[in-house]
Amino acid sequence: MRMRPTLSWAPTEDLPPATTDLEPVADALRAGGVLVLSGAGISTESGIPDYRGEGGSLSRHTPMTYQDFTAGAQARRRYWARSHLGWRTFGRARPNAGHRAVAAFERHGLLSGVITQNVDGLHQAAGSEDAVELHGSLERVVCLSCGAVSLRRDLAQRLEEANAGFAPVAAAINPDGDADLTDDQVGDFHVVSCTLCGGILKPDVVFFGEAVPPQRVEHCRSLVREAASLLVLGSSLTVMSGLRFVRYAAQDGKPVLIVNRDLTRGDRHAVARIALPLGAALTTVAGRLGIGVGEEAAGPA
């Protein structure tokens, strides 16, 4: 059955109003033990669009589902053509002030951990060392037959060699690294197979319609249990993969703070939602704590 991503949600109750007061975030960080949960909104200032914010990609783009990807060769050809083109741009994205602030908080011992719903590797590129990639990473590729894991840059080179001259102009790049291409632009793009067994290659990310590995979910639950508070950055929390950790934290009596410009599905569980741009907001908080947020030259490999 074709699995469609959740596009939006409508609140069924009055939610507390948003604020622009950053002091609750600063207070939580001063106390330490903050667990960060980040979403696509933290990467928009790096040029990667989000899914559901203003102008979000789901308004014009339905991501590939696991069911479609595994069902047929034509769907995989379309995915890899679009993803290969998107990788050229996506792979050049650089961390922004929000990523750098999170890394700075981590270096100063204020965080108990980082969970990211993003697959772009920008937290790590900014210097975060222990970020849990809830939905995997586009920097890795896995074989669905033998389970071998390889680097995306190696696959990119193989795809370049197999598709010399492939350079269509994409209408847009999406948060999952997928470029908007027509079927005519995809053409007869050649998909390569696993070098070890000839099996089907898939990016090491959780597609829509695919479950997050249970051991990864439990590890994130343990991070919530060990944290003093939960700080959500740039996530609408529309889907359960992130919302469950907000609910779990609230049920455990942990304060939940959200920095997101739009309403979120977790607002009812939060002590405050701060409606400010993330990069500027986190830089301001860092300044109040006497922490510098420097420039970061490196990006994902």
- 79: exposed, middle or buried (Cβ count in 10 Å: 0-12, 13-18, 19+): buried
- Enter the tokens of residue 82: 């679009």
Check whether 94 is labelled as a binding-site residue.
no
40 annotated ligand binder: yes
Determine whether the annotation assigns residue 51 to a binding site. yes
Do 81 and 186 touch, CB atoms closer than 8 A?
A: yes
Determine whether the annotation assigns residue 220 to a binding site. Answer: no
| Residue 128 annotated as part of some ligand binding site | no
Which one, of 161, 227, 231, 171, lies nearest residue 195 by Cα? 161
The helix/strand/coil state of 23 is helix
Whole-angstrom distance, CA of residue 261 vs CA of residue 278: 8
Judge whether 39 is annotated as a binding position. Answer: yes
Q: Is 209 annotated as a binding residue?
A: no
61, 99, 123, 135: the catalytic one is: 135
Over the range 113-150, which residues count as b (16 or more CB within 10 Å of their CB) and which as e?
bbbbbbbbbbbbbbbbeebebbbbbbbbbbbeeeeeeb
> Does the annotation place 235 within a ligand binding site?
yes
Residues 106, 23: Cα–Cα separation, whole Å: 19
Q: Is 241 annotated as a binding residue?
A: no
Please, are residues 233 and 259 in contact by the beta-carbon 8 Å criterion? yes
Q: What is the spatial distance between Cα 16 and Cα 291, in angstroms, rounded to a whole number?
A: 30
86 annotated to a ligand binding site: no
57 annotated as a binding-site residue:
yes
Q: Is 146 annotated as a binding-site member?
A: yes
Look up 135 and say whether it is catalytic: yes
Which residues are known catalytic residues?
Answer: 135
Annotated binding residues for NAD(+), written as ranges, equal 39-59, 117-120, 234-236, 278
Annotated binding residues, written as ranges, equal 39-59, 117-120, 143, 146, 194, 197, 234-236, 278
Annotated binding residues for Zn(2+), written as ranges, equal 143, 146, 194, 197
